[in-house]
């Protein structure tokens, strides 16, 4: 074991010496001494840090093959109002398209008002041949989905006849 250490030590020393002797030696020359040059010191302002730039990412969720939902068509309406001074605004007769709604509104705080079909065949549109009473602050809505002329009379005020023309 001693011999092994001795051999390793000799190899190590040999490698060290081989590395030192492989370089060529340059002839020694005198290096000139530099002359002193005055130096100028320039001071600069300390740079300010660059502001942080904010990046906004917008994510749009798009549903592929989205099915549009049907928007119901609003039902056109026509309003007839009973007032406290015994008038009907805008009047008792109206011309409306098929599928429209007529709304009778009672704004008379002194008494109820009502409407009643004049012709028995029109009674179905007004709740039969009995009068449809409209209390104060309430309304009666009738949707006309068939063309024709529908006659009615008002009750609990000077009786007035009206016609709803559906075209």
Q: What is the pLDDT of residues 79-132, one digit of tens each?
A: 999 998 888 899 889 999 999 999 999 999 988 888 888 888 777 776 666 778
127, part of any domain = yes
- The structural domain count of the chain equals 1
25, part of any domain = no
126, part of any domain = yes
What's the domain range around 100? Answer: 77-166
41, part of any domain = no
141, part of any domain = yes
**Sign, Cα dihedral of 23, 24, 30, 36:** negative
CATH number, domain at 102?
A: 2.60.40.420
Range ranked top by mean pLDDT from 25-34, 68-77, 93-102, 112-121: 93-102
pTM for the complete prediction? 0.55
List C-alpha distances in Å: 84 to 46, 81, 103, 138.
84, 10, 17, 14
Q: Reduce the DSSP state of residue 102 to 3 states and report it.
A: strand
158, part of any domain = yes
155, part of any domain = yes
């Amino acid at each position: 074991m001693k011999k092994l250490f001795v051999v390793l030590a000799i190899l190590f020393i040999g490698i060290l010496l081989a590395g030192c002797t492989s370089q060529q030696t340059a002839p020694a020359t005198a290096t000139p001494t530099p002359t002193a040059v005055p130096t100028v010191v320039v001071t600069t302002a300390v740079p300010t840090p660059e502001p942080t730039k904010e990046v906004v990412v917008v994510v749009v969720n798009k549903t592929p093959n989205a099915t549009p939902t049907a928007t119901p068509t609003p039902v056109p309406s026509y309003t007839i109002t009973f007032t406290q001074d015994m008038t009907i605004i805008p009047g008792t007769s109206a011309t409306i398209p098929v599928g429209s709604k007529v709304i009778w509104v009672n704004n008379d705080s002194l008494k109820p008002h009502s409407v009643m079909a004049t012709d028995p065949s029109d009674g179905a549109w007004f709740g039969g041949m009995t009068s449809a009473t409209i209390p104060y602050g309430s309304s009666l809505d009738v949707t006309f989905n068939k063309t024709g002329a529908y006659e009615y009379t008002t009750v609990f005020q000077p009786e007035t006849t009206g016609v709803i023309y559906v075209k």
